[in-house]
């Protein structure tokens, strides 16, 4: 399947200002930076991420492996190891200052306020307890209900995520379920306390195409029915188109372009976004070669002073290697951190553009 940075150090906004008048804004992240320190040096995994997310909205974070997508998600859940990890900036979720919370307070928030679907469902469940018992335990952790009522809720969740023979499957151990069924069970676990914010970290990567489609359609339907905000991490453009309202394209720990699905994929304004699109298989490409992005992502322990994508960019100017580009607004809620953004947004996604044309 193929499916919210300004001039550094100020980050790129992934949407409009928070809608505090109506209370629709659920997530407000400002200048989020995450660094990991070891004997080999400091890895700057997230370098100034900034976005807001409304209730009931889905934002997809798109980018290559190692771009900082999963680290951003784990920062929102405060699941990063405290030792040798530095987190700065601000993360507000439903009025809670995530970075300032202690472990006990954060544990109370995980489930009812923010929950997460992980990439590999086998790591989400304890292999020595049944899946139904684990979901019921999560419910009892946050609500004062009986064992029988917790099991009844677990059964309702299994039916909600369309697990067949739900009552019998509650007594299955994780290894007794198929990959697709475990993924549905993990979604049930994530939804067990009715979270306002759901984080999904590439939850369909390990599944075959048919099951991927089923899970994506299920997630989208549940998100609409429950009015959840969702942050969905993927490296697959087709998945982002299928499930997203807004797109944040991430590279080397920064959001380099953000906007609606229609704007970002219909009028890409950053060379990296265009490179991702050109290297994605489409139905009309049979017998043709993909246009791979030259080079490799930068070493995050040795970040360059300018645009991190410049060494791989065919449109790079000398200034691109010297300073990070200011953000250009190229449409309603559509911004990109590139000196050529206005020229690129006016060029068709598949149309080649030379450095001279971009600079003219």
Sort residue 25 into left (φ over 0), alpha (ψ -120 to 50) or beta.
Answer: beta
Please check whether residues 102 and 236 belong to one and the same domain. Answer: yes
pLDDT of residue 359: 64
Query: Would you say residue 222 lies in a domain?
Result: no
pLDDT of residue 3: 34
Please check whether residues 140 and 107 belong to one and the same domain. Answer: no
Query: Would you say residue 61 lies in a domain?
Result: yes
pLDDT of residue 358: 64
CATH number of 57's domain:
3.40.50.300
Please check whether residues 46 and 70 belong to one and the same domain. Answer: yes
Query: Would you say residue 90 lies in a domain?
Result: yes
Q: What does the pLDDT average to over 32-52?
A: 94
pLDDT of residue 338: 96
Domains in the chain: how many in total? 2
Confidence of residue 210 (pLDDT cuts 50, 70, 90): confident
Query: Cα–Cα distance between 196 and 184 in angstroms, integer?
Result: 19
Please check whether residues 105 and 22 belong to one and the same domain. Answer: yes
pLDDT of residue 357: 59
Burial class from Cβ neighbours inside 10 Å (0-12, 13-18, 19+) for residue 97 reads exposed
DSSP-derived 3-state class of residue 356: helix
Query: Cα–Cα distance between 81 and 161 in angstroms, integer?
Result: 31
Query: Would you say residue 219 lies in a domain?
Result: no
Please check whether residues 189 and 245 belong to one and the same domain. Answer: no
pLDDT of residue 284: 61
Cβ atoms of 309 and 271 within 8 Å: the answer is yes
Tell me the average pLDDT of the chain.
Answer: 87
12 has a pLDDT exceeding 80: no
Q: What does the pLDDT average to over 250-272?
A: 95
Please check whether residues 128 and 91 belong to one and the same domain. Answer: no
Confidence of residue 279 (pLDDT cuts 50, 70, 90): confident
Confidence of residue 119 (pLDDT cuts 50, 70, 90): confident
Cβ atoms of 329 and 335 within 8 Å: the answer is yes
Confidence of residue 353 (pLDDT cuts 50, 70, 90): low
Cβ atoms of 78 and 106 within 8 Å: the answer is yes
pLDDT of residue 40: 85
Tokens of 6: 């300004």
Query: Would you say residue 169 lies in a domain?
Result: yes
253 has a pLDDT exceeding 50: yes
Query: Which H/E stretch holds residue 26?
Result: strand 25-38
Please check whether residues 135 and 107 belong to one and the same domain. Answer: no
Q: What does the pLDDT average to over 296-322?
A: 93
Largest Cα separation within the chain, whole Å, is 70
Confidence of residue 90 (pLDDT cuts 50, 70, 90): very high
Burial class from Cβ neighbours inside 10 Å (0-12, 13-18, 19+) for residue 178 reads exposed
Query: Would you say residue 127 lies in a domain?
Result: yes
Please check whether residues 14 and 74 belong to one and the same domain. Answer: yes
Cβ atoms of 38 and 84 within 8 Å: the answer is yes
Please check whether residues 61 and 100 belong to one and the same domain. Answer: yes
Q: Count the alpha carbons within 13 Å of 180 in the hemisphere toward its beta carbon.
A: 14
Confidence of residue 67 (pLDDT cuts 50, 70, 90): very high
pLDDT of residue 9: 34
Please check whether residues 63 and 125 belong to one and the same domain. Answer: no
Please check whether residues 276 and 129 belong to one and the same domain. Answer: no
1 has a pLDDT exceeding 70: no
Query: Would you say residue 269 lies in a domain?
Result: yes
Question: What does pTM read for this prediction?
Answer: 0.87
pLDDT of residue 304: 86
Strand order across the 85-93 sheet:
41-54, 25-38, 85-93, 96-97
Query: Would you say residue 221 lies in a domain?
Result: no
pLDDT of residue 58: 95
Helix/strand/coil percent split, the chain, to 5: 35, 20, 45
Q: Which residue has the higher pLDDT, 214 or 360?
A: 214
The residue written with tokens 């994508």 in the block is 309
Tokens of 297: 């992502």
203 has a pLDDT exceeding 90: no
Lowest mean pLDDT among 10-19, 142-151, 260-269, 277-286: 10-19
| Omega before residue 9 within 30° of 0, cis | yes
- What are the beta bridge partners of residue 97? 92
Q: What does the pLDDT average to over 68-83?
A: 94
pLDDT of residue 15: 43
pLDDT of residue 278: 86
Cβ atoms of 32 and 72 within 8 Å: the answer is yes
pLDDT of residue 2: 34
146 has a pLDDT exceeding 90: yes
pLDDT of residue 355: 61
Please check whether residues 5 and 106 belong to one and the same domain. Answer: yes
Provide the domain limits for residue 71: 1-113+199-213+228-280+290-360
pLDDT of residue 360: 61
Q: What does the pLDDT average to over 120-139?
A: 89
């Amino acid at each position: 399947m193929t499916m919210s940075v300004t001039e550094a150090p100020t980050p790129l906004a992934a949407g409009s200002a928070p809608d505090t008048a109506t209370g629709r804004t659920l997530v407000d992240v400002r200048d989020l930076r995450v660094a990991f320190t070891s004997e080999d040096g400091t890895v700057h995994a997230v370098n100034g991420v900034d976005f807001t997310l409304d209730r009931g909205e889905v934002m997809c974070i798109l980018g290559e492996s190692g771009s900082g997508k999963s680290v951003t998600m784990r920062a929102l859940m405060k699941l990063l190891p405290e030792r040798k990890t530095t987190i700065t900036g601000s993360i507000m979720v439903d009025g809670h200052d995530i970075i300032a919370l202690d472990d006990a307070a954060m544990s109370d928030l995980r489930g009812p306020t923010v929950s997460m679907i992980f990439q590999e469902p086998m790591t989400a469940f304890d292999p020595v307890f049944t899946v139904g018992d684990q979901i019921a335990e999560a419910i009892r952790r946050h609500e004062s209900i009986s064992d029988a009522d917790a099991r009844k809720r677990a059964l309702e969740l299994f039916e909600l995520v369309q697990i067949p023979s739900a009552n019998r499957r509650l007594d299955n151990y994780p290894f007794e379920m198929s990959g697709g069924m475990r993924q549905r069970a993990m979604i049930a676990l994530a939804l067990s306390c009715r979270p306002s914010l759901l984080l999904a970290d590439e939850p369909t990567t390990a599944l075959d195409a048919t099951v991927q489609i089923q899970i994506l359609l299920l997630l989208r339907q549940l998100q609409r029915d429950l009015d959840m905000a969702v942050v969905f991490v993927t490296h697959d453009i087709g998945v982002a188109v299928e499930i997203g309202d807004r797109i944040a394209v991430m590279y080397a720990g920064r959001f380099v372009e953000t906007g609606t699905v229609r704007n970002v994929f219909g009028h890409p304004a950053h060379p990296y976004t265009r490179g991702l699109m050109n290297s994605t298989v489409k139905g009309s490409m049979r017998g043709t070669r993909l246009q791979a992005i030259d080079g490799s992502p930068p070493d995050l322990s040795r970040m360059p002073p300018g645009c991190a994508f410049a060494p791989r960019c065919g449109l790079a100017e000398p200034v691109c290697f010297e300073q990070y580009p200011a953000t250009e607004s190229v449409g309603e809620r559509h911004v990109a951190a590139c000196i050529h953004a206005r020229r690129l947004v006016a060029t068709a996604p598949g149309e080649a553009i030379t450095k001279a044309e971009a600079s003219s």
